[in-house]
Structure 1
Amino acid sequence: MKFFFILLSCMLFSYGIMAQNIFKAKVLNDQTKAVLKGATAYIPDLKISAAADTSGLITIPNIPNGRFEIEISFVGFAKSEKVYSFPMQQPDVTVEISLGQATGELAEVTVQTTRTNQNLRDIPTRIEALPLEELDEKSTMRPGDIKMLLGETTGIHVQQTSAVSGNASFRIQGLDSRYTQLLQDGMPLYAGFSSSLSLLQISPLDLRQVEYVKGSNSTLYGGGAIAGLVNLISKVPEKEPELTLLLNQTTAKGTDASVFYSQKWKHIGTTIFGSYNYNGAFDPANIGFTAIPQTSRFSINPKVFLYMDEHNSGWFGVNSTYENRFGGDMQVVGGNADNVHQFFERNKTFRFSTQLSFTHKIDEESKINFKNTIGYFDRDLSEVGYEFKGKQLSSFSEVNYVRNGEKASWVAGANLITDHFSADPPQNGLNYDQTTVGAFVQNTYKATKWFSIESGIRLDDNTPAPSKPSNGLFLLPRVNALFKITDHLTSRIGGGLGYKMPTVFNDDSEHDDYKHIQPLTIGNTQAEQSYGLNGDLNYRSALGDEAFINVNQLFFSTRVDQPLILQNNTFINAPGHLLSQGAETNIKLVMDELVFYLGYTYTDTKQYFNGLTNTQPLTPKHQFSFDSTYEIESSFRFGAESFYTGPQLLNDGTTGRGYITFGLLVQKMWKHLDIFVNAENITDQRQTKWGSIYSGSITSPHFGDIYAPLDGAVVNAGIRIKLLNK
């Protein structure tokens, strides 16, 4: 018996030794095949990490039997995440792992906008993605809103629509804001009347990715996406909990306080975002009017995520924002109005929306998705002797089926969109009701290793219907092709049709504050219809072992027939068409810790009305951007940027001058704390330096077009506290 116990103990001891496995991997650059010395491996479940030696070899001993995910990462390259089973079938073999460079379109970026959740590199539709790492930088520059985030993107121009309230909209490729869509998690939370002030009420701290699709996308998302769309992807709970606090103060009397919390358990998870933003009335030019209005805003966005089993998951969220924006005469805002100082603009807004998303996974290749949002928007706009109040109730529901096969992917679905607006009092006559029922199908087919094609078609039925020729029924085809010419050179070519239902909610109405806008009868007005084409070339290559370059050249052309124009305070269809053509150039160079970015946009937008040709106002023909960043990962970041906006035609027939702005960012990071200082427009470029922005008296001013900054040089500084992170 004693011998038996000794033998059993030896066997158990031997098994324990055998159960301690060794993982060996060699990490290479996937293009040059050069070894990546210093690459790191991490096993989250075991909290074990190791670094590659000078030969690129990583060795992790003492791994128990079982299945473990191993993360391989290296600065400047996309992370590899793969599950390995231990003991391995060939325990003495060194695994070879190739990492793709993280330049331009990141190697492992998955996009949601096309609904197939595929890798960015493999989608024929041209999509630009701003990942979490870059959003992290943008959130320190302007924590309170995404106005700067969009304004610094090639091909997107942010247009201020109010001189004293700061209201702004964004335009893609030279087309008015009503031709663009702003989505959150693929849902139109900011459409119609609620698009007002949307750029100024969304914080980047709540986002994990931003996706831009430029050119006609009505096939995917219905009417309104003629010029393109921006899809804001919210953060979701990750393996590690997160609790981040951000505090920011600006020299323009602004204060921002934000908090984000997320946690994931076995079957449930949550994210909670909350913020308070305050700005005092600011007049750097001392002209007596607010360049930045007195603003107080509170937002809270909680979400609950359910992971019921391996086939069913979903989430439910609430988005709520209240804001009081008070601009105009500085003396009035300060509470000292008199017979001379009377002018003001006050915007009180309340947003409330619910979002629901549910996914049923049928098998490894197919799933069914359902999403819904219901939105309520209440706005009270008041001036001296005038008040415009309105409420919008809108909804969006969609069900779609997705199948991702080895050669072909399919998306088919239907959606219902409702939009109801009621003015208060009703005699404003701007009440609006619209219902759209749509069905769509899309196929992505990988014909060969070098050629893929994505085609889709959509049918929408709108009630009430516009006047002829379409009468509310629109058939929208779309085709995009991807050519992988070489390992370094790819090209995308595509086009599609689009439409936009008639509505009074656009930049012209905002500029007028709806004071003189006459009601629009949809049955007497034609829908705007568009035809869009775009094509690009993308070159990416390594320059040695630690430098990479990505060059993208895009060409675009969009025609809009019978666009709505404002004539004698009434919106009518123009007798002709609008044509926007141009090009975008993007160059990104990564040299170890140094990153350089150069962007250029050429936009030529013309109006062809009544046989005459005119330039579209408020559309700069030339825009340049330059950005350089030096970053030691998780330790230090320094950035410098410059932007040039060329001259642009104004609505009064004059030309707004071109201008250049410069900015600097310094950020020091520790494990649980970041400190940052950012300076924007340090040369103090202001439109008020070049002339008056209004005519008439200070009692009853009439403001012209705003084409350049009004707030001048602004410095902000703050801290970000990360209480829970890996």
Structure 2
Amino acid sequence: MKTIFFLLLFSIALVPAFGQTNRIIRVDDSTTHEPVIGATIRTLPTVKPVIGAVTDVHGIATISGLPATITELTVSAVGYETKSFPVQSGTDTLVVHLKAAEESIDEVTVTATRTNSRIDDLPIKVEVLGQEDMDEESAVVPGNISSILGDISIIHTQRTSAVNGNQAIRMQGLDPKYTQILRDGLPLYEGFSGNLGVLQIPPLDLKQIEVIKGSVSTLYGGGAIGGLINIVSKAPTSEKPEFTALLNRSNLKETNLNTYYSQRYGAGKTGLTLFTGYTNQQAVDVTGDGFTDSPEIKQFNFHPRFFWNPSEHTKVDVGYAFTTEHRAGGYLPALEGTQPNAYQNTTDLQRHTVDFNASQHTSAHNSLTVKGALSTFHRQNTDYQKLSDGRQSSIYLEANDLIQLGKHQLIGGANLTVEAFRKNPDSTKLVDYTYSTLGGFMQDDWQLSEKVALQAGLRFDHHNTFGNFLLPRLSVKLKPSEPWTIRLSVGTGYKTPNLFINQTPGAPNVSLIFPRLLPIDVANVKAERSVGTNIDAAYSKTFESGFSIQVDQAFYYTYVNSPVVSSFSSLSSTLGAYTQLTNAPYNLFSLGTDTYVRLEYKAYELYFGYNHTLARRDGPTDNTYLPLAPQDKFSTTLAWENEHFRFGIESSYVGSQYLYNNQKVANYWFFAGAAEYHYSDHWRLVLNGENLFNVRQANYETVVTGSVTQPSFRPVWAPLEGRIVNLALKYTL
């Protein structure tokens, strides 16, 4: 009898042991369906002992030895709401969808890479200006994003016109045409539509700006030779309505009124964001020479986006963007109507864009995406009393498939880009053209181990006018220890000739105004090709005291063969010689280093950046420096914040800048400061000052020469408008 009793007790004791199972659980974001890395899965607090596991880079965790009596688990992750879920029997893999917490998190997801990966997991170096930066900038400089981009040491904002205020971006010392700009991952600013006002996007409508340095050819084409900038719009995050209104006024007679609204409806299945913005800036002559240093601008933006999630696995959003702008510069009495025959430069433009993005998660490891945009752009420009009038229609379509296979994230797809320019009757020699590029791409993100990751990409493009291009690229990420990350990238690129993207003249006195442009001789002008490499070493650590440090040291080298430049033609007009595009008898190279340091302690934040670039022509007879490419740029920001106040000061130094034929210009410092008072969570009052010491190019040389009817303008290498002070009032519901 005793034997039977002990056998019974032994059997009862074995039941839990034999009833234990291994459960595989996948955790993803309920909105993006991307894996949540580092999520903690565990038994309920009432269960002893606690059993749990942490998700890996694919959002997957395996819990071993889970008793069969356990019917419920909890999952938690930084930036997400903690969730309990049932342990279903007979299911090999449990999938749990986490909802993001309403509070913003420091962890940043990058969209430009197509994989929606965390910034720390990427084999390529990406710098992100996040939601907090956009919120601050929306009150500091409400009308555009050029100011916040210029705060990054590797980016130099170049003004391309002395009178109309247009600006362009230089990265790694290269001309602006080698920087590709995207809006929500879509290349909307190419050719005729990208020449004016691209940076006039109000930051109130933005979630973040992603900056990728160097060649990024695989996914978007060969145009991103110096770097890529992706401007990401906001998406609705809560069923509670969000509303923000901002009113701003500056001493340069600029007024901005911007509003933003977002909300999710129907348990999060639908959503809406709506931005409207109006800018009214009067023309101002700061130097007293009679010509505008700050142009007249009247601009209106309207940008609604609709979101629909019919299921947990399907996501669709559709947007419409409308911009209309009138911009005028030149001799101020002519704009005021008292001297109508004097020089004026006036532009009227309208831009309409419809874009869409649809994704379907066919399984836990596969996602299909189709996206695209249709855009029309119409511009009329009068310069030197001559009219140019044209319209561009653009199409971008893409389909891609993202597959997760073990330690691999594979993405493959194809895209089509069409750029059709049609000339209206005017005084130019421009002709109609249609460019189309059909491309296919493949990319593999391979996590070899916890310390090594590879990203290999290959792209093939066929251009209907300039031929075929094969673009390989390779990136490596090394994690030798927890604070350190090392990245190395090598990539190729190309740039097809285009009349409307050469914002920097190829030689002194060569004009890029439309009345002087000649059509491209496609039989004798070929596309540029490039190869570049980037090396980046980063150290990041947070100490128990709350002090955190981030140091990033980068090196880069880019070589461009047979660059397309603007040069004088043998033909001439009443304005002088016409301008034609040709392949230069030299190549280009850019070699540099970029240093980034960020320190944070309690309420204090300090940023320091230094960029040194040697950008030069490389030819048998021409080895001059690239014009308007500073060799030294230093930037620093110090900020302090408490419950109601925030103060910040910025300074930057621009040095060793050359014009044509190695003509060096003066070095200069630029200082800015801002003070913010916020009352509760609703009201913010911001006083901001840019260029506090009133640095102007006119302090060093005369910018405008000649008569008031046929003036000549020197290349712009320093600020023209001097000190800018603005006061902004921001209300958030």
- TM-score bin (small chain): 0.7 to 0.9
What is the CA–CA distance in structure 1 between the aligned matches of 2:406 and 2:129, rounded to whole Å? 27
Segments of structure 1 that go 5 or more residues without pairing to the other structure are: 1-64, 72-78, 90-105, 467-471
8 Å Cα contact 1:67-1:83 kept in structure 2: no
8 Å Cα contact 1:146-1:199 kept in structure 2: no
What is the CA–CA distance in structure 2 between the aligned matches of 1:536 and 1:659, rounded to whole Å? 28
Letter in 2 for 1:680: E
Does 2:486 match 1:476? no
Alignment correspondent of 2:231: 232
Per-residue deviation, 1:69: 8.4
What is the CA–CA distance in structure 1 between the aligned matches of 2:661 and 2:730, rounded to whole Å? 45
Per-residue deviation, 1:405: 4.4
Alignment correspondent of 2:62: none
What is the CA–CA distance in structure 1 between the aligned matches of 2:161 and 2:531, rounded to whole Å? 31
In the TM superposition, what whole-angstrom CA distance separates every residue of 1:611-656 from its partner, at most 9, and x where no partner exists? 43111111110000010111226x3211000011113111375322
Alignment correspondent of 1:488: 483
What is the CA–CA distance in structure 1 between the aligned matches of 2:73 and 2:210, rounded to whole Å? 34
Alignment of 1:40-189 (within 5 A): 79-85=78-84, 108-189=107-188
Per-residue deviation, 1:386: 0.7
What is the CA–CA distance in structure 2 between the aligned matches of 1:548 and 1:442, rounded to whole Å? 34
What is the CA–CA distance in structure 1 between the aligned matches of 2:297 and 2:409, rounded to whole Å? 47
What is the CA–CA distance in structure 2 between the aligned matches of 1:478 and 1:86, rounded to whole Å? 43
8 Å Cα contact 2:606-2:636 kept in structure 1: yes
8 Å Cα contact 1:586-1:599 kept in structure 2: yes
Q: After alignment, is 444-453 or 505-514 more displaced?
A: 505-514
Alignment correspondent of 1:663: 672
What is the CA–CA distance in structure 1 between the aligned matches of 2:82 and 2:403, rounded to whole Å? 24
What is the CA–CA distance in structure 2 between the aligned matches of 1:699 and 1:647, rounded to whole Å? 34
1:118 aligns to what SS in structure 2? coil
Does 2:436 match 1:441? no
Does 2:533 match 1:507? no
In the TM superposition, what whole-angstrom CA distance separates every residue of 1:332-356 from its partner, at most 9, and x where no partner exists? 11221156xx111001111111101
What is the CA–CA distance in structure 1 between the aligned matches of 2:73 and 2:331, rounded to whole Å? 67
What is the CA–CA distance in structure 1 between the aligned matches of 2:477 and 2:635, rounded to whole Å? 27
Q: 1:654 to 1:698 in 2, by over 3 A?
A: farther
Segments of structure 2 that go 5 or more residues without pairing to the other structure are: 1-70, 89-104, 569-578
8 Å Cα contact 1:206-1:260 kept in structure 2: yes
Alignment of 1:328-367 (within 5 A): 328-337=330-339, 342-367=342-367
Alignment correspondent of 1:698: 708
In the TM superposition, what whole-angstrom CA distance separates every residue of 1:589-629 from its partner, at most 9, and x where no partner exists? 00111000000111101101334311111111000001011
Q: 1:583 to 1:278 in 2, by over 3 A?
A: same
What is the CA–CA distance in structure 2 between the aligned matches of 1:618 and 1:263, rounded to whole Å? 45
Letter in 2 for 1:223: G
Alignment correspondent of 1:293: 295
Alignment correspondent of 1:718: 728
Alignment correspondent of 1:99: none
Q: After alignment, is 661-670 or 252-261 more displaced?
A: 661-670
What is the CA–CA distance in structure 1 between the aligned matches of 2:441 and 2:386, rounded to whole Å? 44
2:516 aligns to what SS in structure 1? coil
Does 2:492 match 1:497? yes
Does 2:651 match 1:642? yes
What is the CA–CA distance in structure 1 between the aligned matches of 2:727 and 2:469, rounded to whole Å? 50
What is the CA–CA distance in structure 2 between the aligned matches of 1:316 and 1:400, rounded to whole Å? 18
What is the CA–CA distance in structure 2 between the aligned matches of 1:662 and 1:511, rounded to whole Å? 32
- The aligned length equals 627
Alignment of 1:517-556 (within 5 A): 517-556=517-556
Per-residue deviation, 1:363: 1.6
In the TM superposition, what whole-angstrom CA distance separates every residue of 1:678-724 from its partner, at most 9, and x where no partner exists? 0111100011111200221233210010011111111111111112x
Identity, % of aligned positions: 35
Alignment correspondent of 1:29: none
In the TM superposition, what whole-angstrom CA distance separates every residue of 1:338-379 from its partner, at most 9, and x where no partner exists? 56xx11100111111110110111122211001010111111
Letter in 2 for 1:441: M
Does 2:397 match 1:397? yes
User: Once superposed, what is the RMSD of the aligned Cα atoms?
Assistant: 2.0
Q: 1:149 to 1:708 in 2, by over 3 A?
A: same
What is the CA–CA distance in structure 2 between the aligned matches of 1:629 and 1:383, rounded to whole Å? 43
Letter in 2 for 1:126: K
Alignment correspondent of 2:432: 431
8 Å Cα contact 1:161-1:511 kept in structure 2: no
Alignment correspondent of 2:464: 463
Q: After alignment, is 150-159 or 412-421 more displaced?
A: 150-159
Per-residue deviation, 1:576: 2.6
8 Å Cα contact 2:72-2:87 kept in structure 1: no
What is the CA–CA distance in structure 2 between the aligned matches of 1:67 and 1:189, rounded to whole Å? 46
What is the CA–CA distance in structure 2 between the aligned matches of 1:488 and 1:692, rounded to whole Å? 51
Per-residue deviation, 1:315: 0.7
